[in-house]
Structure 1
C-alpha cells in the first residue's frame, strides 16, 4: 500500500494534512557561510508554529552531506505533532568539498536507495524522497550524474524525485533527461522554485509533460516573482493543471520567513486569488499523492 515515508515511519496519505511541500529544518553549505541552520531549539519553534497554524507535514529537502541532522528529526516530529519527511540525494557540486563528492560519485544510486529502504546512517530513519539539482538554464556534468543516480534509485524504490531548479530555470532540460532518456514517470518528478522564473509558457509545458510544479520560498533578489506567483498558479489551474501544483516555504537561512510565514501570510493572500477549494487541493490533496509511494 502506498504511504508517505516519514521520520517516524509510514503514514497514510489522508493523515498528512496541510503539507509544506519543500522546506528545511536544518541545512549547511559552504555557499552560505555563517548562515547555517543547525539550531534544534529554533527548528522546534518553527515546527510548533507551523503546527499551531494548522500545518500537518513538512518535507525537508536537505540532501546527503548538508547537515540534515537526521537523528534529531524523530523527536522534533513527536514534540510538535507535525510529520516530517526527510530526503536523500545530492545537491549541486558547489555545496560540497571535493573529498566528499569523490567518496560518493561512483555509488550515488546505491547510496540513495539504501537511505530510502534501509535507513540513513545508524538512525533507522528512512528517507522519503530523492533531492537533486539542475544547473542554471541547463545541466552540467554533475547534475547529469546525480539525476542518473536518482533515476536508478527511483526505479528500484518508487520514491519521488525532487529537483532544485537554479533560479527556477532548466525545467525542460531536467524533464528531457529524467523522463525522456531515463524513463522516470513525470508524475514522480517535482520541479522546485518555478516561482523564481515566472515564465508561464515553461510552466505550462512542464505541466503538460506531467510533472509536479512546486512554488516554494520567497524571492531574495526580485520581488516581482513573488507577486506574480498567484497569477502563475491561476493560469495553470485554469489550464487544467490544478492537480500538478505544490507550495513550500523553503527556509534556507535563519532570516528566511519560512514555514510559519507560508501559512500566516502566503496562503491567505493566495486564497483571495484562488479560492479555498483550490488552496486545499494544492496544500492537502496534491502532496498526499506526490509524497506517497
Structure 2
C-alpha cells in the first residue's frame, strides 16, 4: 500500500502537501510561558490565511499532549484556509506540565495514549487523528522522563509507522537521541526528525548527525544577534555540500502570541514563504529549495 500522510482531515498522498512548514505551532500553552499562550483561533486563521496566500500549503503543528493543542479547531482551520494541517501526539519535557497532567498518563502505558491519538483521535477531539509523535531531549543529556517518552514513541512508531519528531534542547544531545531511538529502540532513521539544530550550528556535529540518516530540522527565526539566524545558511550550505540535501527540513516554530506576524510583532508563519523560501532558491537554486520545502517533508512525514 502506498504510504500516506495523516492530516487532521484524513490521510492524503504525500505528493499533495506542497511547500511545508515542517515545525510550527498554531496553539500552545505551557507553564514555562505564562501569559504568552497561543490560544486565539481567529488569530491562527489569519496567520494561516497569509501563509497560504504567500504559497504555503502545509503546516505541521508540533504541540503535543497536554499543551493546549486545541485539536478540535484544526479541521475547521484547514477547511477555511486550504492549508493541510498535521497534528502531534507525544509528550514534551516534564517541566512544561503540571503534575496532574503527567499523572493522567502515568497510569496507562504511555505508548497506548500515543497510538490511540494516532489511530482513533486526539484526546478531546474524537476523530481528529495525529500524524506525528513529538518528544523531547534534555540539555546535553537524556533524563529518565526523556527515555520514558522516547521508549513510548518508539512503540507507537512500530504500531503505526508514525514519524517521531524530537525537540533537542538548544540543539544538543542529537547523537544520544539517534542512538537511543534508532539503535536501542529500533526506529528507522528516516522516521526520525531531530529538531532545533539551528540552535547548535556546529558543522562537524551536524555532518555527524546527517550520517545517522535522520532528518535534520532547522527552525526559527530567532533574533538577528543569535547564531540561529546568521549561521542558518552556512549550516545548510555545509550539509548540502556534504551531500545531505535530502535530509534537511525547515520550520517556523512560532511559540508565543507576540511572535505572530499578522496579530503580533512577527515574524510568524508567513516568514518562511515571504523570506526564507525565496532565499533558499537564491542560495541553492530551485532544485535545492524544492528539496527542503517539498520533497524532504513529503518523505519525512509518511506513515
Give the SS at the match of 1:55. coil
* Alignment root-mean-square deviation, CA: 1.2
TM-score, normalised by the number of residues in structure 1: 0.97
Q: Provide runs of 4+ in structure 1 moved above 3 Å.
A: none
Q: CA deviation at 1:277?
A: 1.2
Q: Which deviates further from its counterpart, 112-121 or 159-168? A: 112-121
Q: CA deviation at 1:71?
A: 0.5
Provide the rounded CA distance (Å) in 1 between the counterparts of 2:104 and 2:223. Answer: 33
CA contact under 8 A between 1:26 and 1:37: conserved in structure 2? yes
TM-score, normalised by the number of residues in structure 2: 0.94
1:162 aligns with 2:172: no
CA contact under 8 A between 2:190 and 2:214: conserved in structure 1? yes
Unaligned runs of 5+ in 1: none
Q: Which deviates further from its counterpart, 269-278 or 91-100? A: 269-278
Q: CA deviation at 1:270?
A: 2.8
Give the SS at the match of 1:263. helix
Provide the rounded CA distance (Å) in 2 between the counterparts of 1:166 and 1:55. Answer: 27
- Which of 209, 214, 218 is the equivalent residue of 1:215? 218
Unaligned runs of 5+ in 2: 260-266
Give the SS at the match of 1:27. coil
**Residue matched to 1:274:** 284
Give the SS at the match of 1:10. strand
User: Could you give the per-residue CA deviations for residues 68-121 of structure 1, whole angstroms, max 9, x where no partner exists?
Assistant: 001100000000000000000000001101111122134210000010011113
**Residue matched to 1:230:** 233
Provide the rounded CA distance (Å) in 1 between the counterparts of 2:173 and 2:288. Answer: 27
Q: CA deviation at 1:221?
A: 8.8
Q: Which deviates further from its counterpart, 222-231 or 154-163? A: 222-231
Provide the rounded CA distance (Å) in 1 between the counterparts of 2:269 and 2:252. Answer: 5
Correspondence 1:16-165 to 2 at 5 A: 16-106=17-107, 107-121=109-123, 122-165=125-168
Give the SS at the match of 1:84. strand
Give the SS at the match of 2:162. coil
CA contact under 8 A between 1:23 and 1:258: conserved in structure 2? no
Q: CA deviation at 1:225?
A: 2.4
User: Could you give the per-residue CA deviations for residues 179-214 of structure 1, whole angstroms, max 9, x where no partner exists?
Assistant: 111111111000000001101111111110100001
Provide the rounded CA distance (Å) in 1 between the counterparts of 2:283 and 2:277. Answer: 10
Count matched residues. Answer: 293
Q: CA deviation at 1:234?
A: 1.1
